[in-house]
């Protein structure tokens, strides 16, 4: 397997670098970063009695509109499954209410979709990844 990101450094509204478990002393820098850790099944999101959180960076979570955290039917839709990281229309993630300029989310980590019940995981992953790549290329002036 590869390595696992263990955290990052945020400066002036941007993610400047990340660190990994295997290279803890070495910061890895990039112009842009993409979070594609998945949702609860992949541990990209964590649910507890107090709510839902994104454990790696502490990103903001998109609230769900339905009342209650769970539904009464164990096998039915569960409101918390629609939780995910908060993003703007360009898929940039939010931290403490502020959009991070160069940090995007793609896949089932996104809020608003219940990929398990909707059986839409692959579609959400592919389409959001393409959309994020397009946004980054447009920002870099490589796609018009």
Q: What angle do CA 4, 133, 110 make, to 5 degrees?
A: 60
CATH of the domain at 51: 3.50.50
Give the pLDDT confidence score for residue 105 in this predicted structure: 96
Residue 144 lies in a domain: no
Residue 32 lies in a domain: yes
Range of the domain at 93: 5-139
Residue 35 lies in a domain: yes
Kindly indicate the confidence band of residue 32, based on its pLDDT and cuts at 50, 70 and 90: very high
The residues, any chain, with a CB within 8 Å of residue 43's CB and separated by 6 or more, are: 37, 55
Kindly indicate the confidence band of residue 3, based on its pLDDT and cuts at 50, 70 and 90: confident
Is residue 13 within 8 A of residue 101, CB to CB? The reply is yes
**pLDDT score of 110 more than 80:** yes
Report the SS3 class of residue 99: strand
Mean pLDDT across the stretch 91-119? 85
């Amino acid at each position: 397997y590869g390595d696992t990101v263990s955290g990052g450094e945020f400066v002036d509204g941007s993610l400047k670098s990340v660190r990994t478990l295997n290279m803890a002393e070495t910061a890895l820098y990039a112009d842009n970063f993409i979070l594609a850790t998945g949702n609860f099944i992949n541990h990209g999101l964590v649910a507890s009695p107090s709510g839902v959180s994104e454990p790696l960076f502490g990103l903001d979570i998109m609230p769900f509109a339905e009342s209650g955290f769970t539904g009464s039917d164990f096998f039915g839709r569960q409101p918390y499954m629609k939780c995910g990281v908060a993003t703007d229309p360009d898929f940039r993630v939010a931290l403490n209410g502020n959009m991070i300029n160069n940090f995007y989310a793609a896949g089932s980590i996104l809020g608003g979709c219940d990929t398990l019940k909707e059986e839409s995981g692959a579609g959400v992953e592919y389409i959001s990844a393409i959309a994020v790549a397009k946004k980054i290329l447009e920002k870099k002036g490589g796609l018009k």
